[in-house]
Structure 1
Amino acid sequence: MNTFVRMRLSIAVLLIAVIGLTGCNEDSTAKVMAQKAMALESAEECHLCGMLITRFPGPKGQVYERGIKKNMKFCSTRDMFAYALDPEHKHNIQSVFVHDMAVNPWDEPSEETYIDGREAWFVIGSTKKGAMGPTLGSFKTKESAEAFAKEFGGELKRFEELTLDTI
């Protein structure tokens, strides 16, 4: 076999291997991009505490976890983080969604204002309460989070800075 034919055969084998491995990737970009926050129904219960989600004020959270097709919904960002940061679940979390409270009334967040929780700014320790008492205000921009903290107190944190101890 001449060098040119061997080179073409090697390239073909490599391409087939790459395509095959890409297809096996459980966290493919297309799958993660298809995940989105879903509307809350009035009778839905919090995945962590079982309380009715829509009966309480403050930002809510939604999570997609590897191996589970349905998203998990939470009555507060605090409950969502209590679940998502738990060592049993932390490494399986694929997508996180929270309300942008800069464009929502605190008592009734809108279904159209979910944002990517990994990109959000959070205010912990404010005087505003959620379903289980203290909760984390969630915001799309740092400026909105700073304005909220100035009015209601609290400290700004990014997603990756949050731990079970801080919430």
Structure 2
Amino acid sequence: MKSLYLSGARALSIAVLSFGLVACGGEEEIAKTFDPVAFHPDDECHVCGMIIEEYPGPKGQAVTDKQARKFCSVAEMFGWYLQPENQHQNFTLYVHDMQHGSWDEPSDEHLIDARQAYFVVASTLQGAMGAALASFADEHAAQQFAAEQGGQVLRFADIDQALLQSAAGTMHGMSHGMSHGMQQHH
């Protein structure tokens, strides 16, 4: 009887331990990847409410299984993402690969994972809001763009609020200079 009790207790212990391991593993949320969505003429920026397609430059989006938040610029997407309440949500971030399409009409067929992209910051081109961040899938293409347009190539983890504010200040200064004699592109 004692060996039956020990066998049962051992089996119960193994079952409880196994259940505990499964439960612990279940608590870890596995990051899912969601597919990008096309931009449409009536899409509004999730942050500022502007009509997205009225502005040049690459756009961004945060996609979940239920919705896509779209942004009028890569900088707006970063500004939203960098808020603490957004950094731990399960979504996939996408940006236009500017090696395809043009600055005025980025190609929705070439949306890339923002976390894998290369970003050119402080280029001379204007975006929708604040800093213009050009996004690329290929580092060489980003380096070439930076050499032609000015700017610095950074990775996703390098971009923070301070960088966005600094780059927006640079763009504001350029816009101010442009309004005094140079034609501003909208």
TM range (shorter): 0.7 to 0.9
- Partner letter of residue 18 of structure 1? L
Q: Corresponding residue for 1:116?
A: 113
Greater Cα offset, 56-65 or 119-128: 56-65
Letter paired with 2:123: S
88 and 17 in structure 1: CA distance in 2 versus 1, 3 angstrom threshold: closer
Q: Could you tell me how far apart the structure 2 residues matched to 1:166 and 1:84 are?
A: 14
Do residues 20 (structure 1) and 1 (structure 2) align? Answer: no
Q: Distance in 1 between matches of 2:147 and 2:97?
A: 17
The answer on whether the counterparts of 2:75 and 2:130 sit within 8 Å (CA) in structure 1 is no
Q: CA RMSD in A?
A: 2.4
1:10 equivalent in structure 2: 13
1:63/1:94 contact within 8 Å kept: yes
2:152 to 152, 155, 162: 155
Whichever structure has more helix as a proportion of its residues is 2
Q: Structure 2 vs 1, CA of residues 102 and 8 (structure 1 numbering), >3 Å: closer, same or farther? A: farther
Instruction: Report the secondary structure of 2:163's partner residue.
Output: coil
Q: Quote how far apart the aligned CAs of 1:146 are.
A: 0.2
Kindly provide the amino acid, as one letter, of the partner of residue 30 in structure 2: S
1:87 Cα offset (Å): 3.5
1:132 paired residue among 129, 133, 138: 129
- Matched residues in 1 for 2:161 and 2:40: separation? 28
Report sequence identity in percent: 40
SS class of match (1:51): coil
Q: TM-score, normalised by structure 2?
A: 0.75
Quote the offset at 1:42 in angstroms. Answer: 1.2
Deviations 1:57-88 (A, max 9, x none): 111101247xx942210010011111111344
Quick check: 2:62–2:92 contact (8 Å CA) kept in 1?
Answer: yes
SS in structure 2 at match of 1:122? strand
Of residues 9-18 and 79-88 in structure 1, the stretch that sits farther from structure 2 once superposed is: 9-18
CA distance in 2 between partners of 1:145 and 1:98 (Å): 14
Against the structure 1 CA distance between its residues 165 and 10, is the aligned structure 2 distance closer, same or farther, given a 3 Å change threshold?
same
Q: Does the 8 Å contact 1:37/1:114 carry over to 2?
A: yes
1:100 pairs with 2:97? yes
Q: Which amino acid counterpart does residue 114 of structure 2 have in structure 1?
A: G
Structure 1 outlier segments of 4+, above 2 Å: 1-25, 86-95
- Displacement after TM superposition at 1:19 (Å): 3.0
Asked if structure 2 preserves the Cα contact closer than 8 Å seen for 1:86 and 1:164, the reply is no
